Amino acid sequence: MAETATHNHAANALEALRARTTVVADSGDFETIKAYHPTDSTTNPSLVLQASRDARYRHLVEEALAATPTPGVTQVERLMTLFGRELTQVVPRYVSTEVDARLSFDTAATITKARALLADYDALGVGRDRILIKIASTWAGVQAASVLEAEGVACNMTLIFSLAQAQACFDAGVTLISPFVGRITDWYKKADGVDHYSGDKDPGVLSVQRINAYAKSYGYATQVMAASFRNRDQILALSGADLMTISPALLEELASLEASNVPGLVQAPSEDARVMHDRAGFDWAMNEDAMATEKLAEGIRRFAADQRALESELTG
């Protein structure tokens, strides 16, 4: 009842959302996100590349170039941990930092890189309790996360496009998963020749609702963080999810919107039977899902390309 009261008297849609969901800033631009008081922050090579071109952050680029990073960490990765360090001064809880996407199919290399990133954060005075290690949700990535979580390393499994990926992550005991609402919708718009879906028909929203229902119905501790939003309607339809990572532009839009219409997520029992995948089952489930297969591969390629662009800009 107290939550409903907070919701009804919220000054704007962002406040109403924050009363039901942990709001995470999807940005490396820590100066801009300060105004929205997010709880957590997520970064990736694309966001750091964008922020590194901003004159306000030139000092971090220079610091990365002048530094001798921790063994196993490149200068580009030092730049990412420097942005992460600054973000820990803006948010009270977690900052997500991505493992190089080119390691997405190598379990051992992912584990080694994650440990090196945490050691680099330690050298910068940031404890591992503030960091989520972000890993692409391939089979190899999920196995790496299982090892890391057993060591006390919190992981954020990114590029989630299917229930099969979520199921594997849940069974691995990961801290957080990030299903990508907007990219799922993008694929179906193109496949179906549709310009717009209403909230209750949006394939990206429906995917997160399905994953969330499965997690809650079977009692998994893993939190679901909806990501990659294309518009405010997708965000409002999923209000009540554990977390949402939202771009500064959409945070601003929500802050200027009245709180009168925040429909929210309906918590319903899962219609999916509980499944615990082995490697063959996971691969088959992905093979049967053209959207998830294509978007996961595309997402990995894009993050890898931005990592290479960062390397080129930093060393060029």
Enumerate the active-site residues: 134
- Write the CB contacts of 214 (distance below 8 Å, at least 6 apart in sequence): 163, 166, 167, 170, 220, 270, 272, 274
Give yes or no for a contact between 256 and 275, defined as CB atoms under 8 angstroms apart: no
DSSP E strands, the chain = 22-26, 40-42, 95-98, 131-136, 155-160, 176-179, 223-226, 243-246
Distance CA 126, CA 80 (A): 13
Residue in the structure block whose two tokens are 């209403």: 198
Distance CA 118, CA 114 (A): 6
Tokens of 204: 């990206």
